[in-house]
Amino acid sequence: MPGRNSTTRGRDELAKRERPQPLYLFQMLPRTNCKLCGCKTCMAFAFSLISRDKKPEDCPPLLEDAYKPTLDQLKEIFGGDVEVNPDTGLLIEEDKCVGCGDCVVVCKKAITTMVYGGMVVQREDKPMVLQVVDGTVQVVNWRSCKRAEDPPDYCRVCEEKCRFGALELVK
Amino acid sequence: MIQEKLVCTTCACLCDDIEVEIEENRISKIRNACRKGSSLIYASQSDKRHASYLIYGQKVSQDEAVEKTSRLLNQAESPLLFGFDNSTLEAQSTAIELAEALGATIDDTSSFRQGELVQTILSNLNPTCSLDEAKDADLVIYWGSNPYHSHPRHLSHFSYYTHPKYEEAGWFPESRLISIEVRDTETTEICDKSFRFFRILPGEDPDFIASVLAIIEGKKGREDAGEFLKSIKSSSFCVIYAGPGLDYSLDGEYQTFNRMVNRLGECTRIAVIPMIDPYNMRGFNQLLFDKTGFVNRVNFANGASHGLEFSFLEQVRNNVPDCILIAGSDPLSSLPDSLVKNLGDITIITLDPFLTATTRISDVVLGIAVSGLETGGNAIRMDGTEISLNRVISTSIPGDEEIIRRLLDMVKR
């Protein structure tokens, strides 16, 4: 490929880590709202794919020959057995995690501080939500997560700070 | 189940907050270690791990292997000792004594990269600081280095995220980050958001440095060099983490870099810390520097002489050594084929806890314990701080210090 060298390769690899957006997935689907998958609309099915409640194979029209390339593409995006933490909605792809601990540090900062009147104020200390165990990050104390508070605070700092796309908040 | 703390010896960060759970003398869980660190710890207790003594591929006893090694070293006219960057300070010190006793040449992987930078720091030509002090830096510069791949916990444990004023909830990090790189990396992604990423072409670093110097002296220079200078001037404490990318680009010629750092030091507080890979390369450099005034490439045949001709690469290229003792290093995996060919005619003795490409072609292999896990000692972190290593797993395999000490005693006899 012309112009492909070690300098451009970095950008290509980083681009692969970008997450699919619901609208992007919706455009890939048949868009017939046939309800055969159990969802009311194809848009709802796109959201269910992201939250991992549904798999691409759950859409019967996608199993037809005409949609085989789409199905393969969706399987590539949502392939692999991954487990979503039911309490925080955090999906950790262990294959991508390098255990750098950025998410652990920023999460600890996020749960122990809050913005009040434009100022950062300290909150009470809490046990950390995430920890690197055996080289990859794991949820060790979901009760400390801002999403477990009442009312929940839909914080996404761990996902935003992961440079490898290993963390995804799907709920 | 026992819980122990240990120091990770995978890279020169020497992270000292690693917690392990041990059941029946085997580690069953590791907390806080990155993927690289965990892999090394688990690999050390793999069934496939090589920890025996071989002479020409045949298993022998430890005594036989050590005796054969001392005989080969004694018979050699021009022995070369190489590696020791993954050994404890005690083992390195004994190895330097062994080199002296043999009148041998001694070198380590710093002769391939970053040796010159460490030499400038030890000679006080460049200002430096400890990683603990560096946590207060309000400007962090990674130059020719992507810590997410080489030292995964560097940002979260030592630099960017550890700044006391870094507040995630406020979304306005006080600590700023600059990356000087040839390509987009995970580190440059942070710079895009928070501060600056200076993309330069491979080998363009000397030109960039010259430009910064020119602008300081009131002349015209590159636009990005001007921006870089402005950022440094606006900071109160700046730390440059110099990686191998800078070293390869400068080709060991650090004079202009030193001049730039010292001129920048007139505007703000500045420190340089080398992003060293092997966990105790800095220790080897320090010990040899204290003894000879040089960090590597030393020959003890007539006192201590230093020169490029005593580097491992030049020695192998010119077929000088007739016997090489390699400790904790795998040069065969990184050397070009033209040099690997030359190794075929040389007697090779390897000390390594693992089976590597180099152990496969070695005449004598001495399996050793993994330091920081199966044997204790001391090591020097990338910033020059001495760290104590704990022994958490008991094993009958001797450490490299014990083997080298036995060799030294035999050679002296």
Q: What is the CATH number of the domain that holds A66?
A: 1.10.15.40
The DSSP string of B74-100 is HH-SSEEEEE-TTS-HHHHHHHHHHHH
Q: Is residue A132 part of a domain?
A: yes
Pair (A98, A66) in one structural domain = no
Total-model pTM: 0.88
**CATH code of the domain in which A164 resides:** 3.30.70.20
Q: How many CB pairs under 8 A join A and B?
A: 103
Q: Residue range A150-161: average pLDDT? A: 87
- Smallest CA-to-CA distance from A60 within A78, A32, A36 is with A36
The 3-state DSSP class for residue A57 equals helix
* Burial degree of B271 (CB within 10 A; 0-12, 13-18, 19+): buried
Pair (A94, A164) in one structural domain = yes
CA distance B182 to chain A (A): 6
Task: Report the number of distinct structural domains present in chain A.
Answer: 2
- Smallest CA-to-CA distance from B18 within A127, A134, A144 is with A134
Q: What span, in angstroms and rounded, lies between the C-alpha atoms of A85 and B327?
A: 45
Contact B202 A163 (CB under 8 A): no
- Of A20, A51, A78, the residue that ends a domain is A78
* pLDDT of A8 higher than 50: no
> What integer best gives the mean pLDDT of chain A?
82
Token duo for residue B230: 């402005």
Pair (A95, A60) in one structural domain = no
CA distance A18 to chain B (A): 13
Q: Is residue A165 part of a domain?
A: yes
Pair (A105, A64) in one structural domain = no
The 3-state DSSP class for residue B56 equals coil
Q: Is residue A49 part of a domain?
A: yes
Looking at residue A2, its pLDDT comes to: 33
CA distances from B284 to A24, A166, B37, B288, B382 (A): 55, 37, 21, 6, 11
CA distances from B310 to B252, B327, B338, B407 (A): 16, 17, 18, 22
Looking at residue A74, its pLDDT comes to: 87
**Cβ–Cβ contacts within 10 Å for residue B383, how many?**
24
Q: What span, in angstroms and rounded, lies between the C-alpha atoms of B124 and B70?
A: 38
**Cβ–Cβ contacts within 10 Å for residue B193, how many?**
10
Domain assignments of chain B as residue spans, ordered by start: 50-113+279-412, 115-274
- Of A37, A55, A78, the residue that ends a domain is A78
Pair (A17, A52) in one structural domain = yes
Which chain A residue lies closest to B193 (C-alpha atoms)? A161
- Of A78, A113, A134, the residue that ends a domain is A78
The 3-state DSSP class for residue A27 equals helix
Q: What span, in angstroms and rounded, lies between the C-alpha atoms of B399 and B413?
A: 22
Is A97 near chain B, with CB under 8 Å? yes
Q: Is residue A19 part of a domain?
A: yes
Q: Is residue A1 part of a domain?
A: no
CA distance B358 to chain A (A): 27
Q: Is residue A83 part of a domain?
A: no
Closest in A11, A110, A131 to B168, CB measured:
A110
Task: Determine the angle formed by the axes of helices B223-233 and B205-216, rounding to 10 degrees.
Answer: 60
Task: Express each pLDDT in A50-72 by its tens digit.
Answer: 888 888 889 999 999 989 988 88
Contact A135 B38 (CB under 8 A): yes
CA angle A44, A49, A50 (to 5 degrees): 100
Q: Is residue A35 part of a domain?
A: yes
| Pair B181, B148: CB distance under 8 Å | no
pLDDT-based confidence at residue A148 (cuts at 50, 70, 90) = confident
The DSSP string of B263-286 is HHTTTSEEEEEE---STTHHHHHH
Token duo for residue B341: 């060919």
Token duo for residue B293: 């005034």
pLDDT-based confidence at residue A4 (cuts at 50, 70, 90) = very low
Task: Express each pLDDT in A92-102 by its tens digit.
Answer: 888 889 999 99
Pair (A65, A101) in one structural domain = no
Same fold, B50-113+279-412 and B115-274: no
State the best of B181, B183, B200, B248 to mutate against chain A, taking most chain A CBs within 10 Å: B183
Residue ranges making up the domain that contains A33? 6-78
**Domain B50-113+279-412 listed as CATH 3.30.830.10:** no
Residues of A in Cβ contact (< 8 Å) with B201: 7
CATH topology of domain B115-274: Dimethylsulfoxide Reductase; domain 2 (3.40.228)
Divide the 413 residues of chain B into consecutive groups of 10 and give the mean pLDDT of each group. 91 94 93 94 83 87 93 93 94 95 94 93 95 90 94 92 67 70 88 75 93 93 90 92 94 92 94 95 96 94 91 92 92 87 90 90 92 92 94 90 94 81
